[in-house]
Amino acid sequence: MGYTAWSDDAYSQLSNARTVQTRDQIFGSKHVDPTMNPHGLGVRESCDSPQHPDSVPIVVAFDVTGSMGTIPERFAREELGGLMRMLVDRGYVVDPQLLFAAIGDACTDAGPFQVGQFESGLEMDMWLTKIWIEGGGGGQRYESYALAHWFAANHTRTDAWDKRKKKGYLFTMGDEMTWSLPREHLKNVFGDSAEKEWTAHQAVQAASERWQVFHIIVTEGYHGKDPDILQQWRDLLGERALVLPDAHGICALIAQTIALHEGTVDLAGARTDLVAMNLGAATADAVSTALVTVAAQAMVRRPAHTNLVPSKAVGGVDRL
């Protein structure tokens, strides 16, 4: 997938029409769309093409339980366009390919994981709005975020890795901790067989072999300020567990996290771009604070004038 090109004008017409639509009108699904059902899934592919010869795969996986269901709505109304403008127009990434996924609770939900395709053009909005905002969750401070890590580790193929040994980017986001991956969850969700339960740590490490893995903790969610939640994600991802109090800053945080790792912006340039976006001082400050930790450990090419020192990133571990 990923053979078409992004059109900001076409997306603007689409998003403008949504100003008078309700969430149910934008996200009309009342069940998992068959094309987003991961059961029996082979692989989702991010491929180079004549139009996009240097594809960079990006997975954005939303928590669609409870209060977190408002975040994909924001993306559909306005922020997808903002994300693509930052990635493409500002030169952060020449050939981004986005895949949207949705995360629920494999213990209780009918649709604990939904997954689209990698796209370069307006088709990515089609996959985004196919998501079923189930709004469930188990009420236990846990959701099944590790399903996204299992998917990335076992059900993706990218030319970026196969041809260039370049990792893609995986962002999960939500306000709770993650369950591990019991064998029955893998069987029920993917139809996959596993010899034993995978821990969340094992799933993250497996995904990290071919993906730069991040989690955005949105503290405006119901559990977002719980210190136990931050601690679990810090144990799993270290400084790649990013805290953001205002969900309006998510597209900026995603785009600039990628740009820092790609070496196409430094912290000073990121701050300048944030100001130009008119996000508001509080949101811009929150994104800037999160980016300091990203820049400190990003293993990327740095412009000669920057004094940032890269340190070792997550990844490079044995698979089960």
188-237 confidence digits (pLDDT tens): 999 999 989 999 999 999 999 999 999 999 876 555 467 899 999 999 99
What value does the mean pLDDT take over residues 185-190?
97
Which of 45-54, 71-80, 304-313 has maximum average pLDDT?
45-54
Is the pLDDT at 1 greater than 80, yes or no?
no
What region does 118 belong to: left with phi over 0, alpha with psi -120 to 50, or beta? beta
Band the pLDDT of 315: cuts 50, 70, 90.
very low
Structural domain 8-297, CATH architecture: 3-Layer(aba) Sandwich (3.40)
Is the pLDDT at 303 greater than 70, yes or no?
no
Is the pLDDT at 248 greater than 90, yes or no?
no
Q: Are 27 and 88 in contact (CB under 8 A)?
A: no
Locate the domains of the chain by residue range. Answer: 8-297
Is the pLDDT at 45 greater than 50, yes or no?
yes
If one compares 244 and 185, the residue with the highest pLDDT of the two is 185
Band the pLDDT of 73: cuts 50, 70, 90.
confident
Burial class of 9 by CB neighbour count within 10 A (0 to 12, 13 to 18, 19+): exposed
Burial class of 182 by CB neighbour count within 10 A (0 to 12, 13 to 18, 19+): middle
> What pLDDT, on a 0 to 100 scale, did the predictor assign at position 189?
97
87-143 confidence digits (pLDDT tens): 998 899 999 999 999 999 999 999 999 999 999 999 999 999 999 998 887 667 899
Q: Are 165 and 72 in contact (CB under 8 A)?
A: no
> CA-CA distance, 120 to 97, in Å (whole number)?
5
The count of C-alpha atoms lying within 13 angstroms of the C-alpha of 173, restricted to the half-sphere facing its C-beta, is: 32
Is the pLDDT at 178 greater than 90, yes or no?
yes
Between CA 110 and CA 280, with CA 168 as vertex, the angle to 5 degrees is 80
3-state secondary structure of 232: helix
| Amino acid at the residue 46 | S
If one compares 29 and 278, the residue with the highest pLDDT of the two is 29
If one compares 279 and 134, the residue with the highest pLDDT of the two is 134
Cβ count within 10 A of residue 65? 28
> What pLDDT, on a 0 to 100 scale, did the predictor assign at position 225?
67
Is the pLDDT at 311 greater than 60, yes or no?
no
